[in-house]
Every structure is written in C-alpha cells, then in structure tokens.
C-alpha cells in the first residue's frame, strides 16, 4: 500500500496454504483491539479445528498492532469509497440480522442470541472488497475479452417514493436520489 493508504502498490497471486498462528473469532480480534485479553474465561473452549481456541499471550502485542493497522486501513478505504460514490451499507448493524450460537461439547446449539456488529466485522468486509477488486483487475488484465464485471447501477430514486412518504409520516427524512444520499439516509435512520 502507498503511505497514504490510497493505492495498492503491488500484489502477488498464487496457490497457498494458510497456516494461522492464531485462528481467532471476531470477538477475540475485537477484544485484542480493545486492549483486553482475547480469551473469555466464561466461554467454554471451541470444538477442535475451529477458530476461537486460546491465543498465545506472546502473540497479543503483535496481533494488536497488526489488527490496528488493518482497522485503520479499512476505515480509510471505507471513507474514500463513501466519499466518491456513497457506498450503500444494507447490513442491519447491531440490530442482529445474524445469529450467534453457543454450542455444547458435542457441537449442538444451546443458546441463540443476535450477533452484535463490531468494527472488526466492517474491517474484514472492507478488506474482502479490496481483495475482490484486486482479483477482478487481475482477471480482466489476463482475460480482457472473456471476463465479466458485475456493477451495481445507480440508484433509481423514483423507486423510493412510497418508502420516502412512509418515513416522512413517521418524522424521518429520506433521500434516495443517489448512492451518497441513500447511504446518508440509511445511516441517519439507524441513529
């Protein structure tokens, strides 16, 4: 990445095997970012071969540093993307569209709770967008005549007239004339 985090300077593509030094859950990564211990003593250990096992305490300082760098990069990428075209985030945030399951020793669910969205979720999502963009560029460069690109067209503001009227009757402002306005309206509605 460039020093201002605006440009991917170089990439490498190849077949790999990933060997994690710490296969963490989102919660563990979030706790590290918050300056806490990654391991929650109230949680029972996960089943074998899954993320979430104990994190080696000697790795925590370097993991915290690396996670911090990645989080700052993701914020910058997201802010830049929103500034140029109003990236629309349709996730439901902390209202829990996803569920989190607590499992017993046999891997059976014992508890279900709405999953709280944390910044680490947005960080991973933003870095996946960056990776997908790099791969798409590579594929198009190698196969320009046979590669496909899926592009989401501009927002058709007329399609939101009924929604805008309903929200207005509830005292909420909604502007769906373009991606930036739509993103701002959705962000404002979340509060």
Query: pLDDT (tens digit, 0 to 9) for every residue of the chain, 191 residues total?
Result: 787 777 888 888 888 888 888 899 999 999 999 999 999 888 887 877 788 888 999 999 999 999 999 999 999 988 887 777 656 665 554 444 567 778 888 888 788 877 778 999 999 999 998 898 889 989 999 999 988 877 766 666 667 777 778 778 878 788 877 777 777 777 777 66
Distance spanning both ends of the chain, measured CA to CA: 33
* Neighbour-count burial of 29, counting CB atoms closer than 10 A to its CB (0-12 exposed, 13-18 middle, 19+ buried): buried
> pTM score > 0.75 for this model?
no
186 near 89, Cβ under 8 Å? yes
């Amino acid at each position: 990445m460039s020093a201002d985090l605006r440009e991917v300077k170089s990439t490498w593509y190849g077949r790999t095997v990933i060997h994690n030094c710490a296969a963490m859950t989102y919660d563990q990564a979030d706790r590290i970012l918050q300056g806490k211990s990654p391991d929650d003593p109230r949680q029972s250990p996960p089943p074998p071969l899954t993320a979430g096992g104990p994190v080696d305490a000697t790795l925590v300082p370097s993991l915290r540093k690396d996670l911090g760098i990645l989080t700052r990069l993701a914020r910058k990428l997201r802010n830049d993307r929103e500034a140029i075209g109003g990236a629309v985030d349709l996730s439901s945030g902390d209202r829990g569209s996803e569920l989190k399951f607590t499992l017993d020793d046999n891997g059976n669910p014992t508890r279900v709770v709405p999953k709280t969205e944390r910044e680490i979720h947005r960080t991973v999502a933003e870095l996946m967008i960056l990776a997908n963009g790099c791969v798409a560029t590579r594929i198009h460069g190698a196969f320009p005549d046979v590669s496909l690109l899926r592009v989401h067209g501009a927002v058709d503001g007329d399609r939101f007239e009924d929604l805008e009227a309903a929200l207005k009757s509830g005292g909420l402002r909604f502007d769906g004339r373009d991606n930036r306005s739509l993103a701002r309206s959705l962000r404002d509605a979340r509060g």
